[in-house]
Amino acid sequence: MVVKCGGSIINQLTPNFFKSLQELKNNGYDVVLVHGGGPDIQHVLSALNIQSEFVNGMRKTSKEVLQVVQMVLSGKVNKNLVMMLQKEQISSVGLSGCDGNLLEAKAIDVASFGYVGEVTKVNQSLLKSLLDGGYMPVISSLGIDPNGDCLNINADLAAGAVAKALHAKQLLFVTDVPGILNNDTLIQNTTPDEINDLIDEGIISGGMIPKVKAALSALSETLHQVHIISGTESFVTDDGDVKGTSITNNQMNGVMNL
- Residue 145 to residues 8, 98, 117, 169, 192: CA-CA distances in angstroms? 27, 9, 8, 28, 32
Ordered strands of the 189-190 beta sheet? 92-96, 136-140, 32-35, 2-5, 171-175, 225-230, 245-248, 189-190
Q: Is the separation of the CB atoms in 73 and 37 below 8 Å?
A: yes
DSSP letter for 94, please: E
Q: Is 100 marked as binding a ligand?
A: no
Q: Is 38 marked as binding a ligand?
A: yes
DSSP letter for 11, please: T
Please state, in angstroms and rounded to a whole number, the distance separating the CA atoms of residues 87 and 91.
9
Q: Residues annotated as binding site for substrate?
A: 37-38, 59, 152
Q: Residues annotated as binding site?
A: 37-38, 59, 152
